[in-house]
């Protein structure tokens, strides 16, 4: 009898172990909290702006280009706008960073259209992942002026937009009457004289999102040749109170091949706003990560499709 009881106990323990292992390897697609920073170890450049200037670089020669209504700020003052300064924060503004003490500010004056920060990678990357935190302006209002598109992020190879032999990819906000949609378009390159249409419009920012931080992941992979259509364009987003990223954009057959320049080499954050803003409006960006390897959490269950 004792032997039977002992054997039964062993069987029960083994069964329990197999159940636990099976659950840990589950392909369940439900959102799961994960360490979203775990992939950053493979990055070739990380910028947290804690230096208080635009001197950030790496072994490849990453560099920030001339400021264009952009500046590094603390919660209390502007500390660098291309040169060291000390300008106190105006009354009624909020420059609290996502992390640390500093962030990158984009200032759009009322009835004006431009704030942009360009960068150069120096070395071309056939595949590129970019991740950063973006704060929606505290007084955000997407006007209905036509056209209503406002730039968010652009990346290109040898020259911008249709001027390049290589490709360009651009993400833009579009007004939808109650907030903003997000879409993207791209130029194949070859100096063909025009960009492609804006595609995959998705609701992205609402009136209730004022002052919220979101984390974005952009992924672009060049096609295997200039004639091929196996390039990749993807975008994920999560709000700061969300454990899981949501995929908003995916194109797996993009004709974005390279020619003389073998990959992505230059880009900008934010940029021209066709719709402009009724009031002085400020975006903040923090903790930018550049990598040629995936920045999306590895667990399948940490990702949802929009």
CATH number at residue 225: 2.60.120.200
> Residue 127 is encoded by which pair of tokens?
């595949």
In the DSSP assignment, the letter for residue 252 is E
Mean pLDDT of the chain: 87
pLDDT attached to residue 227: 86
Residue 95, domain member (yes or no): yes
Q: What is the pTM of this model?
A: 0.86
Residue 4, domain member (yes or no): no
Residue 22, domain member (yes or no): no
Q: Confidence class of residue 37 from pLDDT cuts 50, 70 and 90?
A: low
Q: Are 167 and 153 spatial neighbours (Cβ–Cβ below 8 Å)?
A: no
Residue 79, domain member (yes or no): yes
- As a whole number of angstroms, the distance between CA 131 and CA 198 comes to 22
DSSP 43-54: -SEEE--TTSSS
Q: What are phi and psi of 34, to 5 degrees?
A: -135, 165
Hey, is 11 helix, strand or coil? helix
Q: Confidence class of residue 26 from pLDDT cuts 50, 70 and 90?
A: very low
pLDDT attached to residue 188: 87
The least confident of 1-5, 107-111, 197-201, 245-249 is 1-5
By percentage, how much of the chain surpasses pLDDT 90?
71
- As a whole number of angstroms, the distance between CA 42 and CA 158 comes to 25
Residue identified by tokens 């402009």 is 276
- Residue 181, class by beta-carbon neighbours within 10 Å (0-12 exposed, 13-18 middle, 19+ buried)? buried
- Residue 92, class by beta-carbon neighbours within 10 Å (0-12 exposed, 13-18 middle, 19+ buried)? exposed
The rounded Cα 123 to chain-centroid distance in angstroms is 20
Residue 301, domain member (yes or no): yes
- Most confident among 72-76, 165-169, 227-231, 258-262 (mean pLDDT): 72-76
Residue 96, domain member (yes or no): yes
**Model confidence over 194-245: pLDDT tens digits?**
678 999 999 999 999 999 999 999 999 999 988 899 999 999 999 999 999 9
Residue 13, domain member (yes or no): no
- As a whole number of angstroms, the distance between CA 235 and CA 81 comes to 29
Domains contained in the chain, number: 1
By percentage, how much of the chain surpasses pLDDT 70?
84
Residues 180, 186, 192: CA angle, nearest 5 degrees = 140
- As a whole number of angstroms, the distance between CA 180 and CA 201 comes to 10
pLDDT attached to residue 93: 96
Q: Are 172 and 152 spatial neighbours (Cβ–Cβ below 8 Å)?
A: yes
pLDDT attached to residue 261: 78
The long-range contacts involving 45-48, CB below 8 angstroms and separated by at least 24 positions, are 45/289, 45/290, 46/287, 46/288, 46/289, 46/290, 47/287, 47/288, 48/99, 48/100, 48/102, 48/286, 48/287, 48/288
Q: Confidence class of residue 21 from pLDDT cuts 50, 70 and 90?
A: very low
Kind and range of the H or E element at 13? Answer: helix 2-24
**Model confidence over 127-169: pLDDT tens digits?**
999 999 999 999 999 988 888 999 999 999 999 987 888 899 9
Residue 262, domain member (yes or no): yes
Closest CA to 232 of 152, 151, 306, 169: 169
The domain of 284 spans 32-305
Decide if pLDDT at 7 tops 70: no
Average pLDDT in the 273-283 region? 94
Q: Longest C-alpha distance within the chain, in Å?
A: 88
Q: Are 219 and 235 spatial neighbours (Cβ–Cβ below 8 Å)?
A: yes
Average pLDDT in the 13-28 region? 37
């Amino acid at each position: 009898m004792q032997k039977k009881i002992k054997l039964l106990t062993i069987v029960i323990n083994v069964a329990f172990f197999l159940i636990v292992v099976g659950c840990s390897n589950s392909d369940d697609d439900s959102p799961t909290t994960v360490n979203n920073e775990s992939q950053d170890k493979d990055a070739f450049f990380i910028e947290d702006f804690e230096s208080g200037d635009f001197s950030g670089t790496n072994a490849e020669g990453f560099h920030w280009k001339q400021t264009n209504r952009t500046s590094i700020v603390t919660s209390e003052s502007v500390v660098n706008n291309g040169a060291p300064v000390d300008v106190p924060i105006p009354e009624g503004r909020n420059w609290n960073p996502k992390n640390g003490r500093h962030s990158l500010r984009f200032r759009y004056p009322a009835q004006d259209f431009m704030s942009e920060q360009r960068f150069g990678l120096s070395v071309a990357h056939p595949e590129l992942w970019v991740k950063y935190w973006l704060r929606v302006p505290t007084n955000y209002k997407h006007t209905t002026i036509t056209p209503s598109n406002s730039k968010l992020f652009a990346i290109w190879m040898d020259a911008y937009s249709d001027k390049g032999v290589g490709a360009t990819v651009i993400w833009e906000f579009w007004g939808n009457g109650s907030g903003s949609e997000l879409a993207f378009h791209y130029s194949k390159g070859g100096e063909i004289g025009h960009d492609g249409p804006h595609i995959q419009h998705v609701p992205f920012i609402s009136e209730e999102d004022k002052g919220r931080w979101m984390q974005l992941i952009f992924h672009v992979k060049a096609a295997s040749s200039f004639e091929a259509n196996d390039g990749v364009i993807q975008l994920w987003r999560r709000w700061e109170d969300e454990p899981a990223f949501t995929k908003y954009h995916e194109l797996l057959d993009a004709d974005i091949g390279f020619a003389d320049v073998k990959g992505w080499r230059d880009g900008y954050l934010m940029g021209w706003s066709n719709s402009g803003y009724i009031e002085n409006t400020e975006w903040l960006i923090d903790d930018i990560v550049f990598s040629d390897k995936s920045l999306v959490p590895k667990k399948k269950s940490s990702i949802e499709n929009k």
